[in-house]
Amino acid sequence: MSTLHVLSHSPFGDDRLTSCLRVIGTNDALLLTGDAVYALQPGTAPFNALNARPLKLFVLAEDAQARALAVPDAAKAIDYPAFVELSIHYDKVNSWL
């Protein structure tokens, strides 16, 4: 069963990203939204953790743009309609509240 994991909290404020990366499966994907896009800052521990393993990584483009962050080649920037499509594509969605 595949899961779309959705993170919206800053990786510098708590351990949600670390916990998510610990349980994410090979058929799963990760979508960064809101302040979670700060994990895309090059040279940071969260950025290194995201790049340390093969991962289907998506980023809500609007949130990256609002925070003036570039989306790395390893991630795919998506809009809200694509977010809905991802939600349908995966068997379940896990929002890390």
The whole domain housing 41 covers 1-93
pLDDT, tens digit (0-9, with 9 covering 90-100), for 65-97: 999 999 999 999 999 999 999 999 999 999 999
* pTM check: above 0.75: yes
Count: domains in the chain: 1
CATH number at residue 22: 3.40.1260.10
For tokens 């990366």, name the residue.
21
Measured over the CA atoms of residue 26, residue 31, residue 36 and residue 39, the dihedral's sign is positive
Q: SS3 sequence, 26-41?
A: CCCEEEECHHHHHHHC
Six-digit token string for 86: 């991802």
pLDDT, tens digit (0-9, with 9 covering 90-100), for 19-55: 999 999 999 999 999 999 999 999 999 999 999 989 9
Strands 56-60 and 75-78: parallel
